[in-house]
Amino acid sequence: MCPHTSLKQQFLKKWIMGLQRCSFSKKNMSILERKKTIKLSADIAMASARNGTTRWSRALISNASKDGSDNRLVQQILGPDSNTPAATTTNKAGTRRASVCKKIVKRSHQIRRRRRKCVAAAPVKAVTSSISEHLVRKRRQVLKTLIPGGEFMDEICLIEETLDYITSLRVQVDVMRSVASACFSQS
């Protein structure tokens, strides 16, 4: 994809650098560990290619650096990066906000349920729209679990982050696939 060449190059460069930094310990690792390292470095390279402009990238980096075992790896890959402390603080604020929002949402759901019971002869349109809203809401929940850091986003942000996330996933898959095919093309 021509317009994404710069992004691909950036991602590839960061990924290779990250792999180099943790490659010295790779001699004795099992294949699963290697796969985890590769995937982690690829994800972090992808996220850092965004330079902290999108929420999912910040959430991904902060999630990776939260975990104790991966922390060292992340620090190695990122180097002296200033993104990580900022990401953690935003996430904490996000969790607090999210818990408050969840209470409010729960309360409003209860109220809505009560109101729906009161409305006896609701027109068909309202009923079908509420069903569709229910379906859409369920799918939004699933989408929130997919996108890193998605639980703290409202609808608009969620869709934007999905857009960005899907494009960067595509770039990641393209680059990894071409590297893999380059590795195995000699036959």
Residue 180 engages other proteins in binding (rule: CB under 8 A): yes
**Interacting stretch for other proteins, rule CB under 8 A, among 39-47, 62-70, 80-88, 97-105?**
39-47
Residues 88-147 touching other proteins, rule: CB under 8 A, are 132, 135-136, 139-140, 142-143, 146-147
Q: Choose, by CB under 8 A, the member of 44, 45, 50, 64 that binds other proteins.
A: 50
Q: What's the rounded Cα separation, in Å, for the pair 119 and 52?
A: 47
User: How far, in Å, CA of 66 to CA of 68, rounded?
Assistant: 6
Q: In this complex, which beta carbon is closest to other proteins, that of residue 24 or of residue 121? A: 24
Nearest by Cα to 8 from 163, 175, 165: 175
Measured CA to CA, the distance from residue 53 to residue 87 in angstroms comes to 11
Beta carbon of residue 120, minimum distance to other proteins (angstroms, whole number):
25
User: Taking a C-beta distance cutoff of 8 angstroms, is the pair 152, 94 a contact?
Assistant: yes
- Which residue, 55 or 84, is less far from other proteins as judged by CB? 55
Q: Do residues 41 and 77 touch, judged by C-beta distance below 8 A? A: yes
In this structure, what token pair is assigned to residue 115? 């109101």
List the x/- string, 51-90, binding to other proteins by CB under 8 A: x-xxx-----------------------------------
Q: How large is the angle between the packed helices 68-78 and 5-21, nearest 10 degrees?
A: 120
Beta carbons of 58 and 147 less than 8 angstroms apart: no
- The piece of 35-43, 61-69, 91-99, 112-120 that touches other proteins (CB under 8 A) is 35-43
Q: Write the DSSP assignment of 77-96 as a string of letters.
A: HH-S-SHHHHHHHHHHHHHH
Q: Taking contact as CB under 8 A, which single stretch among the options 9-17, 64-72, 107-115, 120-128 is the one that binds other proteins?
A: 9-17
Please identify, among the stretches 42-50, 60-68, 96-104, 108-116, the one whose residues bind other proteins according to the rule CB under 8 A.
42-50
In this complex, which beta carbon is closest to other proteins, that of residue 78 or of residue 147? 147
Q: Is 169 in the site for other proteins (CB under 8 A)?
A: yes
Residue 175 tokens, joined: 């680059």
